[in-house]
Chains A and B, each alone.
Chain A
Amino acid sequence: MAQTGSKRAVIDTARQRIGTVYAKALLGATEKAGQTDSVLAELDSLVADVLDKLPDFEEALRTPRIKPEDKVLMLDSVFGPKMSPLLLNFLKVVAQHERLDCVRGIERAARKLFNQLRKRVEVLVESAAPLSNQLQYTIAARLKATLGRDVVLTADVNPDLLGGLVVRVGDTVYDGSLAGKLKQMQAVTLEHTTATIRESIERFSLT
């Protein structure tokens, strides 16, 4: 479960918005067929194992120079035997609408919608050193108790934190990291000390 690298990549809001529309449709179809879990896992693996590893292939899917019909044929020949027919059909529809550039947006939106549907929250936990599975499990259990909802936990390693944890739930950040505390301490101390010095400027010796 633990992965390194930033999970907070800057996203393209326009594609994300389009992705949300397609993701909604995809989820509707998979829910009806009762295959949501498997299809979403396949979609994740499409992004992580194919698009991330073969940028050229992603470029081929994105480029408008290849006609949609050719892209459909390409999808068929590449994924045909392995992919579930539902996802393959979905990708073909996306290809025909010339929206294959939004696949990443679709994947992200589908994850989010699926979690909402199952009443789960996505939580990103950052730590200075990798967390053991046992620890992750404990953190997830504690978060579940605090937030009152099922937690989908993603772990990330960020050595800049020095120690402690940073927990991100949606846009809210709970900063319990050592680096954050030092920074806060610096700010508070600086502010109060300057205020004290300013108040009692005459106490300091004049030479």
Chain B
Amino acid sequence: MTKFNAAEIASVIQAEIEKYTDAIRVEEVGTVLEVGDGIARVYGLSNVMAGEMVQFPNGAIGLAFNLEEDSVGVTILGDYLEIQEGDEVKALGKLLSVPVGDAVIGRVVDPLGVPLDGKGPITSTESRPVEFTAPGVAGRQPVKEPLQTGIKAIDAMTPIGRGQRELIIGDRKTGKTTIAIDTIINQKTSGVKCFYVAIGQKDSSVRNTIKVLEDNGAMDYTTVVMSGASSPAPLQYVAAYAGTAMAEYFTYKGEHALIVYDDLSKQAVAYRQMSLLMRRPPGREAFPGDVFYCHSRLLERSAKLSNALGGGSLTSLPIIETLEGEVSAYIPTNVISITDGQIYLQPDLFFKGIRPAMNVGISVSRVGGSAQIKAMKDKQVAGGLRLALAAFRELEAFAQLGTDLDAATQSRLDRGYRMVELLKQPQYQPLEVVDQIIIIYAGNTGSLDEIPVARVREFETEFLQFVRDHKSALRTEILEKRELTAELKTALTDTINQFKATFQKKAK
């Protein structure tokens, strides 16, 4: 148990008092006219700026949100039940900022940077404004490095680059969060700092997410910014920007960061609530007119910085929950148009057992091949996978008519079934990119055609283990060259055949 020496503390306080210099405080103040639902209308504060922090007598922080002719609309980031009419509000003369730096890594914090995990105070000397202008055209460079999610289907068909914004969209319970969590877990060796922003979610599910991250050792490089369903709307709204500010610190230091917004539809709802209470005019689906800007300025902050700025990157994975697959609702269309691609998850695929339940046809990544290493891009690996799967689905629909099929068609169908089976992946088990290349190569070159569909996944696990155990030189070579040369391909095919012989023998 820690026991403090009272005399020492007294001497510290005494030194403080001796150093204390007296100055008349000059403050800009206003008076609360009305308060409720997390917002307050304040009379006075005539020189306050939009977005400036104000403080209530109980210590709660507010944000000047609406500047009107004779009053100021303030959103309260904290307990608003103690605030009363007539209370004096002080302008703090600074913009909302949060603590940043290595001190926040591995922590669970609220949107103001206050720790929620009971691991003591965050001792950070640096802070960053929550609202920050996105880098301009000259401050960026094209996205070119891959951010490996560890998920075969995504890394092969909708690759994500560092600095990209890839939307994860789907109905409830289709595995949206799982994709994000897998991606975070897969950053264990990549040095990418991860930020998981939970907005308007059940505290219990966030607790589970944190547990998964802890169990997989991912909390060592991850920060969870948490604003649950019971937090006031202003906090839920600010959470996304606060998390981005924490992530940006690393980006501008030349490092790489990944941020997951889970989810932006809830953030939009919180913003709608604030705006309606502030009497801003409602637009489509009662969202305010600037809800697009609310998301676009947030996602514009994800970028691959130019070398002059250090070459850091901020990748974001915003999540949007749709209702009954309705992607043409207001918020989904907005965010689809802002992001550089989307991963579309469908419940029917999910229940068919295809997990991740990604609809390959309409999921895209606008960055594409430049976010893949050359070996993955190879024609015999992921190069033609998207088109092949599209052709397979067409054929599959046709085959359901029950007509007799010629041998060629039947073999293409068989290949397709195996590829679909191969792209399934259990949750929280991200695969290294070299393993992905090896197994997709095996599937694409037809080596799996004789394996029964039901045993494809068993083959995958055992084969990858076999390569790790007996052919580690081959793995390292692929990783080092980042390209599948003709010799490597032959070596790989030989390995596959060698393993297949033992695998089939075992089956008999």
Residue numbers of A with Cβ under 8 A of B are 8, 10-11, 13, 16-17, 168, 170-176, 180-181, 184-185, 188-189, 192-193, 196-198, 201, 203-207
Contact A172 B70 (CB under 8 A): no
Name the CB-closest residue of A to B26.
Answer: A174
- In whole angstroms, what is the CA distance A172 to B25 when docked? 10
CB-CB < 8 A to B2: which residues of A?
201, 204, 206
Q: How far is the CB of B9 from chain A (nearest CB, A)?
A: 7
Name the CB-closest residue of B to A196.
Answer: B12
Q: How far is the CB of B153 from chain A (nearest CB, A)?
A: 47
Contact B24 A174 (CB under 8 A): yes
CB-CB < 8 A to B47: which residues of A?
171-172
CB-CB < 8 A to B71: which residues of A?
13
> Is the C-beta of B351 less than 8 angstroms from some C-beta in chain A?
no
Contact A204 B27 (CB under 8 A): no
CB-CB < 8 A to A170: which residues of B?
46
- In whole angstroms, what is the CA distance A32 to B74 when docked? 42
Determine which of B3, B12, B44, B85 lies in contact with A197 in the assembled complex, contact meaning CB atoms within 8 Å.
Answer: B12
- Chain B residues 61 to 119 lying within 8 A of chain A, measured CB to CB, are 69-71, 85-86
Contact A171 B45 (CB under 8 A): yes
Q: How far is the CB of A163 from chain B (nearest CB, A)?
A: 13
> Is the C-beta of B269 less than 8 angstroms from some C-beta in chain A?
no
With A8-B31, A196-B12, A205-B3 already in contact, the answer to whether A172 and B45 are too (CB < 8 A) is no
Determine which of A11, A175, A205 lies in contact with B43 in the assembled complex, contact meaning CB atoms within 8 Å.
Answer: A11
- In whole angstroms, what is the CA distance A206 to B1 when docked? 7
Contact A16 B70 (CB under 8 A): yes
CB-CB < 8 A to B25: which residues of A?
173-175, 180, 184
Stretch at the interface among B14-22, B190-198, B216-224, B352-360: B14-22
CB-CB < 8 A to A173: which residues of B?
25-29
CB-CB < 8 A to B31: which residues of A?
8, 10
Contact B3 A188 (CB under 8 A): no
Contact B16 A13 (CB under 8 A): no
With A10-B86, A188-B16, A193-B13 already in contact, the answer to whether A205 and B70 are too (CB < 8 A) is no
* A-B residue pairs, 6 tightest by C-beta: A175-B25, A189-B16, A171-B44, A176-B24, A173-B27, A207-B3
> Is the C-beta of B121 less than 8 angstroms from some C-beta in chain A?
yes
Q: How far is the CB of A81 from chain B (nearest CB, A)?
A: 37
- In whole angstroms, what is the CA distance A206 to B24 when docked? 41
With A170-B46, A197-B9, A204-B5 already in contact, the answer to whether A189 and B33 are too (CB < 8 A) is no
> Is the C-beta of B123 less than 8 angstroms from some C-beta in chain A?
yes
Contact B70 A17 (CB under 8 A): yes
> Is the C-beta of B398 less than 8 angstroms from some C-beta in chain A?
no
- In whole angstroms, what is the CA distance A58 to B5 when docked? 65
- In whole angstroms, what is the CA distance A198 to B123 when docked? 8
Q: How far is the CB of B431 from chain A (nearest CB, A)?
A: 43
With A13-B33, A185-B20, A193-B9 already in contact, the answer to whether A172 and B3 are too (CB < 8 A) is no
Contact B3 A206 (CB under 8 A): yes
- In whole angstroms, what is the CA distance A47 to B46 when docked? 27
Q: How many A-B residue pairs have CB under 8 A?
A: 80
Q: How far is the CB of A170 from chain B (nearest CB, A)?
A: 7
Name the CB-closest residue of A to B45.
Answer: A171
CB-CB < 8 A to B13: which residues of A?
189, 193
- In whole angstroms, what is the CA distance A173 to B88 when docked? 11
Contact B26 A172 (CB under 8 A): yes
- In whole angstroms, what is the CA distance A196 to B12 when docked? 7
Q: How many residues of B contact A (CB 8 A)?
A: 35
CB-CB < 8 A to A16: which residues of B?
70
Name the CB-closest residue of B to A181.
Answer: B22
Residue numbers of B with Cβ under 8 A of A are 1-5, 8-9, 12-13, 16-17, 20, 22, 24-33, 43-47, 69-71, 85-86, 121, 123
- In whole angstroms, what is the CA distance A143 to B85 when docked? 31
- In whole angstroms, what is the CA distance A11 to B70 when docked? 11
Q: How far is the CB of A198 from chain B (nearest CB, A)?
A: 6
- In whole angstroms, what is the CA distance A176 to B25 when docked? 7
Name the CB-closest residue of A to B47.
Answer: A171
Q: What would 26 A/B residue contacts be, using CB atoms closer than 8 Å? A: A8-B31, A10-B32, A10-B33, A11-B33, A13-B33, A168-B29, A171-B28, A171-B30, A171-B45, A172-B28, A175-B25, A175-B26, A175-B27, A181-B22, A185-B17, A185-B20, A188-B16, A188-B20, A189-B16, A189-B20, A192-B16, A193-B12, A198-B123, A204-B5, A204-B8, A206-B3
Contact B17 A13 (CB under 8 A): no
CB-CB < 8 A to B16: which residues of A?
188-189, 192-193, 196
CB-CB < 8 A to B26: which residues of A?
172-175
CB-CB < 8 A to A184: which residues of B?
25
Most chain-A CB neighbours within 10 Å: which of B4, B16, B24, B43? B24
- In whole angstroms, what is the CA distance A196 to B121 when docked? 14
Q: How far is the CB of B146 from chain A (nearest CB, A)?
A: 41
Q: How far is the CB of A126 from chain B (nearest CB, A)?
A: 12
CB-CB < 8 A to B24: which residues of A?
174-176
Name the CB-closest residue of B to A175.
Answer: B25
Name the CB-closest residue of B to A164.
Answer: B24
- In whole angstroms, what is the CA distance A184 to B338 when docked? 46
CB-CB < 8 A to A180: which residues of B?
25
Name the CB-closest residue of B to A13.
Answer: B70
CB-CB < 8 A to B20: which residues of A?
185, 188-189
Contact A205 B9 (CB under 8 A): no
CB-CB < 8 A to B121: which residues of A?
198
Determine which of B1, B17, B28 lies in contact with A207 in the assembled complex, contact meaning CB atoms within 8 Å.
Answer: B1
Q: How far is the CB of A160 from chain B (nearest CB, A)?
A: 12
CB-CB < 8 A to B5: which residues of A?
204-205
CB-CB < 8 A to A181: which residues of B?
22
Q: How far is the CB of A45 from chain B (nearest CB, A)?
A: 26
Q: How far is the CB of B40 from chain A (nearest CB, A)?
A: 12
CB-CB < 8 A to B123: which residues of A?
198
Name the CB-closest residue of A to B71.
Answer: A13
CB-CB < 8 A to A206: which residues of B?
2-3
